[in-house]
Chains A and B, each alone.
Chain A
């Protein structure tokens, strides 16, 4: 198959690859701007095209189904402010052209690999692109090139390599099950149709390995550790991508396999595993949120908590599944705001530690307003859209007769909101000690506009979701049993 009849998917992958190569070798700042704008345009054209060609397979291995489209739109929206803030980041750091080139090339590869992984309809292809995200993400984590970021990178690569190996072992077990039921394909659709006839033992093993493997990307217990370091050590625009679109790819890996086993006898068992993992994620997040002193790590732990809630909703069933997908989308818009803002905070205080920051309203009122609003949105207080989705998740736990779990989670969430508020309000209102006011740079207030837009989007989508959006989510969960 040549390039010219390879369809939109082929053009997109080739285009992204070319752009990233040019970015890598280019040393000129203006050309760099031009290329990133070009990539964003390509990303949007691709997204709109796939939205209008839903469920049409391209290049054999890529099918834009509802879940893929949903996440693709999220990615295209988040990548615009991410690129914008990346440019600000590189300009204020007076980055040398080589590092800037590597940074943007890696970002483009990461975004393209994520898009391809969303669209993939074959479990091995998903796996390959997820592995590619590890490569590009580690280039971003190592961007600052100091000993701490080296440690973060090493841990990230090591843990991700082991998890990706676990996923591969899971796929091998799955292929044993597939061969016994007479199939030879590992397409999700074929797997879904044949799942009922597969050997339960192999499916259980496959589920355990694949689930554990993808938790490193999705930021869930047990493999969440590397992700936390990565979000902390990467530049804040990359941290924003890691805690939104990169987590979605882990979720998609888990969800597609969850869909496959939904008609089988182990569905109930798998739900219990997911419930345990989800609850432990919320628990671990609470424990660390209470003592964390680094604001960026606090946001990363908050992602862990939200992912835990999403898993609880998914496993509880009923309205919880709808809420889980909705929550995931809203979280992907809300959490980048905090990371983008963290970049501005860092420029003022030169520190991420809670001990060094304070009185932010005085130095950057626009940004402080963002932080205050984002705090309400992320902790799911009305009118945040996440209030709606969290409320539905709790309702689904209630309807599934899991009262003990519900009460425990609510208690943990109270602690999380308390410690989150304690740190944010300290940063906003309390005077910092030993802080030299004279060197505070004047920040451009227009930098905050993108963050206000994202926050407004979260509120709008939660309170008044457009019909097309609701239909997409309902389409995503339509394969799961009632």
Chain B
């Protein structure tokens, strides 16, 4: 469980770097290949995926897969912190509901 929740954390940073990299992308190959932000984003996604696989090996898929949704929570936080996107009451409510769901799933795990 900790591995999968950690994977969602690492993966959400992957999305942040991809967005940062995407902002500096132009219509030529060079701006993509020499874009270290994109490379970091992809590397974080790969790392996140490996953590997820390690977690899957030891746990139940019916518990672990829905836990990937914690990534939505991180993403909202980073969107606020790094991109200044508004964190509305409704988004905050959604975050709370997801976290409650993850706690319930953890309670139901073997």
Q: Do A and B bind each other?
A: no
Question: Interface on A for B, CB 8 Å cutoff?
Answer: none
Question: Interface on B for A, CB 8 Å cutoff?
Answer: none
